[in-house]
Chains A and B, each alone.
Chain A
Amino acid sequence: MAAATYTGDRVAGIALAAVAGIIWWQSTLWPTSGDVGGNPVVLPRILAGLMLAVGVALLLGRRAAPQSEDGDTSGHKPLHALAAIAVTILLAALFDWLGLIAAGIVYVAVLQRIVGAPWRIALPFAVAMPIVIWLVFYKGLSVPLPQGELWIRLGF
């Protein structure tokens, strides 16, 4: 019996075909008069064509699902990764406003709890690490890091 198309391949195939469409549409908006340097739309359109072809091949092909490194996916928890991504989106939105130290403490603590670290380990690390990063990189190496608009407005 032939293997069914793997869902990941199907999604990737559709995504590639969509990107190919965007590339083609965008290339219609560019100046097309070719000078000695060649027509600027040619390479992007070749790329779009290849993306479409590979996208269709992924959509229709029959490849097995990828194997985990240890061959066992029973212990995998994709919800942990999805929760981490959601928290990271929140951090990215609040990073400039809250600053490294405040945002970092909450972020590290929440991520540690998501993956099951006990409070007694999570809390000290969550508090210490952003402060250490701040001291080493901002104070020690003069790397620009967000101080937090909120704290600046409040006069800290």
Chain B
Amino acid sequence: MFDPQLLAHGFAAIFSWQVLPFLLIGSLLGIIVGAIPGLTATMAIALLIPFTFKMEPISGIVMLLAIYASGIYAGGIASILIRTPGTPAAAATLLDGYPMAQKGQAGRAIGIATISSGIGGLFSAICLTLFAPLLATVALRFSAPEYFALAVFGLTVTMSLAGNSLLRGFAAVLIGLGVGMIGVDPIGGFPRFSFGLPELAGGFNFVAVMIGLFSLSEAFRQMEQMSVLPPVPPAVKDVLPKLGEILGMWRVYVRSCVYGLIVGVAPGVGAETSSFLSYAEAKRNSKHPEEFGKGAPEGVAAAQSAENGSTGGDLLPMLTLGVPGDAATAVLMGALTIHNLQPGPLLFQDRPDLVHQIFAGMISANVTFVILGLLGARLFAKVVQIDRRVLVPLVCLLSLVGAYAIDNNPFDVWVTLAFGVIGWLMQRNGFPVSPLVLAVILGGMMESNLRRTLVMGLGSPTIFLSRPIALAILALAVITLWAVIRRSIKEAKDASDKASDTARA
């Protein structure tokens, strides 16, 4: 259960000299990375995981959480200033943020974005603190059949990340499942797909795979597209918004925070979906919907608060069930694992102190980026102009150095390089990368728990009939799969109709 005393101890640990500098460094790095178009929080977290090995676990985890929270927020800075979202989640912010900047209100827009992200992030971090221990208590009753069902559910929802082509998304999932099978059979203990290579006997190092797919592949993609330098951003002044203006938008905040949290908890969707959903709702409920898209501060507030409102929700299933909801939390899960902390209900039972430190870290990270964001707005506005021709090669070097640092093993450098090339090829051919990563995690979880379930049932799958929760989750997975397929067929039909209309015209 949630323990206020442990939370107080958690805050004391966060504000100790061993952890506080890493909170500040993480927040600063997150804002810088988030503000630069093309660099994402997920990429920064994947890059920095290996460098947290030698840190105290809580220092490393708090730094990565701070990068996550502030990276999501800072995507809005580039949206407002140069009409290019710093992160995919910040696309909704530019709808009103950029028109505000065009009217000479860039500082005001950044100020509203910063405060709104802080409100959303703080709300979701508090909800995470209150609800995660409750969910973990329920999850303690889960066994192999329920975890198998959760993995199947997660995999079906992962297909929703497929974007325009369900088939390409499904292919990415299958590749991920195949990658996850390399190593040792979970029950028999014999090597699979290792081809006699001792380095493959334990499977690929997951962190090396993530660095390749999220950092190196993105760097290769940026190099391909680096033809023009970013435009010069407008001047940023009068950043601190008026209190009355913020309080006047309380309805927008309530709605956006709730939307953000709910969307965040749902696996497979995150900040990108919540910001657009919340923006649309804010416009629908506004007294002046005609002002949206022309520089309405409510539009910026709705998008930014929902974006960060989803961060706590994203972390909830990962921390309590060990099921990552999106790419960023999958990477964070990898970070916890390398510190020998297995996310799931047992973490809450065995290390409640650390779990409450994580909650305190998440709450503190959301306050820290607001302070840094408001104080350093003018400086961060210049960051969007950083020459990517200098920065992207550095990302390449850090990717390879990070891969080497995981285990002091040159083989991991080759793994990162191979997955960097695979990720680049996938992205440029319309195959999404996130489902692959989620399938690596969920595939292993699915297989090992199915085999354990069969052991529990003495070889008979009918054991599922005596597990109502597992059955309910499996039913939900079937419904989700049906909905995803239906949506895909409808979109394909719409596209085909549109193409025929165009041809006829």
Contacts and interface: CB of A to CB of B under 8 A. Distances in A.
- Range class of the B interface residue count: 35 or more
Contacts of B458: 36
B455 A37 contact: yes
Interface stretch (B4-12, B286-294, B326-334, B404-412): B404-412
Interface string B35-50: 0000000000000001
A87 to B, nearest CB: 9
A31 B187 CA distance: 12
Contacts of A80: 223-224, 226
B188 A75 contact: no
A54 B447 contact: no
A11 B431 CA distance: 12
A89 interface: yes
Given A37-B451, A81-B220, A75 B193 contact: no
A92 B410 CA distance: 8
A12 B420 contact: no
A37 B461 CA distance: 10
Given A85-B220, A146-B404, A75 B227 contact: yes
Interface in B19-54: 50-51, 53-54
Q: What range describes how many residues of A lie at the interface?
A: 35 or more
Interface stretch (B98-106, B114-122, B389-397): B389-397
Interface in B153-171: 164-165, 167-168, 170-171
Interface stretch (B134-142, B174-182, B249-257, B310-318): B174-182
Contacts of B394: 108, 125, 129
Contact of B450 (A1, A12, A43): A43
A140 to B, nearest CB: 10
B253 to A, nearest CB: 30
A71 interface: no
Contacts of A75: 225, 227-228
A130 B397 contact: yes
A44 B401 contact: no
B448 to A, nearest CB: 10
A80 B219 CA distance: 11
B378 interface: no
A143 B54 contact: yes
Contacts of A78: 224, 428
- Tell which of B50, B225, B392 has the most Cβ of chain A within 10 Å: B225
Contacts of B447: 43
Interface in A1-49: 1, 6, 8-9, 11-12, 16, 19, 22-23, 26, 30-31, 34-38, 40, 43-44, 47
Interface SS, A side: helix
For the complex of A and B, the 10 pairs showing the least CB-CB separation, nearest first, are A66-B430, A8-B429, A111-B393, A75-B227, A117-B389, A37-B187, A36-B459, A81-B224, A144-B408, A38-B454
Interface of B: 50-51, 53-55, 164-165, 167-168, 170-171, 174-175, 177-178, 181, 185, 187-188, 190, 192-193, 216, 219-221, 223-228, 387-390, 392-394, 396-398, 400-401, 404-405, 408, 410, 413-414, 417, 420-421, 424, 428-431, 447, 450-452, 454-455, 457-459, 495, 503
13 contacts: A19-B175, A19-B178, A58-B168, A64-B495, A66-B165, A85-B417, A85-B424, A111-B223, A115-B389, A115-B392, A129-B394, A143-B54, A146-B404
Interface of A: 1, 6, 8-9, 11-12, 16, 19, 22-23, 26, 30-31, 34-38, 40, 43-44, 47, 50-51, 54-55, 57-58, 61, 63-66, 68, 75-78, 80-81, 84-85, 88-89, 91-92, 95-96, 100, 104, 107-108, 111-112, 114-117, 121-122, 125-126, 129-130, 133, 137, 141-146
